[in-house]
Amino acid sequence: MLRRNMSDLSSVSIPPPPPSWRHVGRHGVFPAAGHDDTARFDFLANLNSLLASEVLPRVRDAYERRAVPAYTEAHGHPPRDRREAHEALKGERLWQTFSALRRCSMEMRQQTGRTLVLKQLPELIAKAHAYNEGASTLKLDPTIEQPRYASAVDIHCMPGGYHAELVPDDVSAGANYDSGLFATTAGMLGRFSDGGGRAVAAWLKREYPDFRPRRILDVGCTIGHNVVPLAQAFPEAEVIAVDTAAPVLRYGHARARSLGVHNLTFMQANAEALPFPDQYFDLVTSAMFWHETSAKALPRILKEIGRVLAPGGLTLHLEQPQYTPEMPLFEQAMRDWDAYYNNEPFWSVMHELDLKRMLLEAGFRGEDYFETTIRALVDRELFPEAGQGQEDYGRTPMWIAFGAWKRG
């Protein structure tokens, strides 16, 4: 199926291979890796790249040439929305192959990360402990319960999600998340997988040079990939990052400390009930967070953000693009893949919400709402080729940033 005939070959431009995992950014708590670990991650990155650049265009072709006509004949009309486009694709052998391989790559990514991390877990815990012990900037609260939407399934096939504790003081979920992201994103988020946060910080400095937040909150921070650049960009600010899951907070705190970041507190808290006074923060952010919440939680969290934001403050969120009537149905169906096959149950519903309306319902004003496009800032010296890969509807480093200022 993947074999090309000679006439095909002349017209194909082969994208550069993704950077090797050996370039991943290392810090004081990053897992030690040998040849075989690197080879497994490199295999994954290349498999994903192959799927995006070689297989996906053929799936699109098969959708147009075979799946849509077959669906139209069976239903009397072509697919009218992304769910019908998904139905049309399901009968297509090429799509089944693509989907099975992509699911395998997700499972492999988790097993590769866990193999790396679990064989050195006592050492990783000791390393994290050395940074975390006695630090007032790590605040864990064992009474915090995991929301059902975060624990009912293994989110994106990650065994135990973000919160499972295999042993006391566990950091394995954080170390696994950190080590695999560079491979699944093919290095396009930069060595430290922080291209989103770096891009947000640069955007804020460029668009609002006089904005000097004194207190910053990041909700659903995981290990802090995208809040560390904000803490670095605003060194005078007090920055607090909250998450419900202790293993990622322990790891994230140690990671930030080892990167020399000291104005950032990691706190175990539920964003649906933020433990802060009204009007406490000047900036409230999130990155790739909303699609992992729920239809009930999302408006509650936005209300909480409105409450803790000071007048004149800004709330700003990075997410994958929303579905719009202008987005081709094939692209919508492919972006929806994660909802069906990668344990992202809220993905599909979240990406059709009217975000502006959600913010209005949380108390913000329509004229203060904005949306813009943010592209990850990548380490160009190390990865001149990064970011020029093929669109794969979900893993390219292009997001919408949406949010609102709060009136003074």
- Other C-beta atoms closer than 10 Å to the C-beta of 93 total 10
Whole-number Å distance between alpha carbons of 196 and 139 = 25
Spatial distance between the Cα atoms of 165 and 312, rounded to a whole number of angstroms: 40
Q: What's the closest the beta carbon of residue 292 comes to ligand SAM, in angstroms?
A: 4
Smallest separation (angstroms) from ligand SAM to the CB of 40 = 22
Interface residues toward ligand SAM, by CB under 6 A: 147, 150, 162, 219-222, 225-226, 242-245, 248, 270-272, 287-289, 292-293, 297
Beta carbon nearer to ligand SAM, 18 or 197: 197
Spatial separation of the C-alpha atoms in residues 87 and 340, rounded to whole Å: 12
CB 188 within 8 A of CB 234: no
In the complex with ligand SAM, the residue whose CB is nearer, 169 or 385, is: 169
Contacts of residue 217, defined as CB under 8 A and 6 or more positions apart, other chains included, come to 239, 240, 241, 242, 274, 276, 280, 281, 283, 284, 285, 305, 308
Give the residue closest to ligand SAM by C-beta: 220
- 242 or 401: CB nearest ligand SAM: 242
Report the nearest approach of ligand SAM to the CB of residue 274 (Å): 9
Q: One-letter amino acid identity for 38?
A: T
CB of 142 to ligand SAM, least distance (A): 15
Nearer to ligand SAM, 89 or 314 (CB): 314
Contact 174, 132 (CB under 8 A): no
Q: Using CB atoms within 10 A of its CB, is residue 143 exposed (0-12), middle (13-18) or buried (19+)?
A: exposed
98 or 347: whose CB is closer to ligand SAM? 347
Nearest to 194, CA basis, from 236, 156, 223: 223
Q: Which CB atom, from 221 or from 329, has the smaller least distance to ligand SAM?
A: 221
Nearer to ligand SAM, 244 or 396 (CB): 244
Q: Residue 93 CB, nearest distance to ligand SAM (Å)? A: 32
Shortest distance (Å) from residue 68 CB to ligand SAM: 33
Which secondary structure element, helix H or strand E, spans residue 180, and what is its range?
Answer: helix 172-184
C-beta separation of 135 from 64 below 8 A: no
Q: How far is the CB of 36 from ligand SAM (least distance, A)?
A: 27
Write out the E strands in 137-287: 138-139, 215-219, 238-243, 264-268, 281-287
As given in the structure block, the two tokens for residue 25 are 């950014």
Cα(113)–Cα(182) distance, integer angstroms? 11
Work out how close the CB of 114 gets to ligand SAM at its nearest, in angstroms, rounded to a whole number: 17
Return the number of the residue (55 or 216) whose C-beta is nearest ligand SAM: 216
